[in-house]
A = this chain, B = another copy of it.
């Protein structure tokens, strides 16, 4: 069981993320960023994930192949609010993509965060390689991959299941699917078999767990168990995590509060109050603190310069000169 202190910490990080995401949405609506996509509704799972990661660079740490709803994980790992706001406002100082990519498209070499990319499911192909490297080198790290439910229809999902479960060549990959029951506007039951996602992993002999991603404490425990298995057995494990999509798909679909879905923060607050770990005024104070941090960060970012147009040729190749040849 997690101590009160640990529960408080989780709560704080959940709220911090939510505040940040709501700020990003406001930025989009007021023209301070072209597009928003993010993870409100997934904090109760993504914060515990961030806490349990073996963070660092190289094979002896966990390799992370994330999708665009992982802000809670990144903030938990230590990412700064202001940096996310920088990416939202696409300024040159955006440390993840230099103003090139959408918000929540992270890339952090020191933490093995492989850069998040918009195409759905490709990370399930790339993660095979870090898994192979870790397996062969008998490294201490494992590979963790996350993505959505609709995306499991892409072939890379099968590639990941198959390559990681080859007999005597199993890979240490924690395969996570966050199931919010939607593609953009397409309900899951319209395009998927009723057997569910975890069943498909079982077909490869992969161990699985179904997790209520709206509860941070059960999420934490389930993650601990699954990670323990992958770290020790060096075999794949699939977690299907049921989460909410509180602001719809993205700014393309309006980014308005949708209602009718469980809000993990509200739910957790009820628990914390019941267990007398925190009270309403604590909640308010925390929220305020992060709202101020976000606001301050935004003011700073709004003054920062946009990228230099000539910089488009930077990083085409490792040695820039080749890019300019043409």
Contacts of A193 in B (CB 8 A): 162, 165-167, 204-206
> Which among A18-26, A136-144, A152-160, A268-276 touches the partner chain?
A152-160
Is A202 interfacial (CB 8 A cutoff)? yes
Q: What chain B residues lie within 8 Å of A195 (beta carbons)? A: 165, 203-205
Apart from A157-B158, A193-B206, A195-B204: 19 A-B pairs, beta carbons within 8 A: A153-B159, A153-B162, A155-B158, A155-B159, A158-B158, A162-B192, A165-B195, A166-B190, A166-B192, A166-B193, A167-B189, A167-B190, A167-B193, A193-B205, A194-B205, A195-B205, A199-B204, A200-B203, A203-B203
Give the size category of A's interface with B.
20 to 34
Considering only residues 141-194 of chain A, those with a C-beta below 8 Å from chain B are 153-159, 162, 165-167, 169, 189-194
User: Which residues does A use to contact B, with CB under 8 Å?
Assistant: 153-159, 162, 165-167, 169, 189-195, 199-206
Complex CA distance for A205 and B192, rounded to whole angstroms: 11
CA distance A153 to B158 in the complex (A): 8
Give Cα A190–Cα B157 distance, bound, in whole angstroms.
20
A171 CB, nearest partner CB in chain B, Å: 11
Q: Are A199 and B203 in contact (CB under 8 A)?
A: yes
B203 close to A202 (CB less than 8 A): yes
CB-CB nearest in chain B for A191? B166
CB pair A203 B201 closer than 8 Å: yes
Least Cβ–Cβ distance between A207 and chain B, in angstroms: 12
Q: Give the residues in chain B near A199, CB-CB below 8 Å.
A: 202-205
User: Which residues on the B side are within 8 Å of A162 (C-beta)?
Assistant: 153, 192-193
The CA of A39 and the CA of B117, in the complex, are separated in Å by: 44
Give the Cβ gap from A155 to chain B, nearest Cβ, in Å. Answer: 2
- Complex: chain B residue closest to A155, CB-CB: B155
When distances are taken between beta carbons in the complex, the residues of chain B under 8 Å from A204 are 193, 195, 199-200, 203
A79 to B191, CA, bound (A): 39
**How far is it, in angstroms, between the C-alpha of A195 and the C-alpha of B158 when the chains are bound?**
14
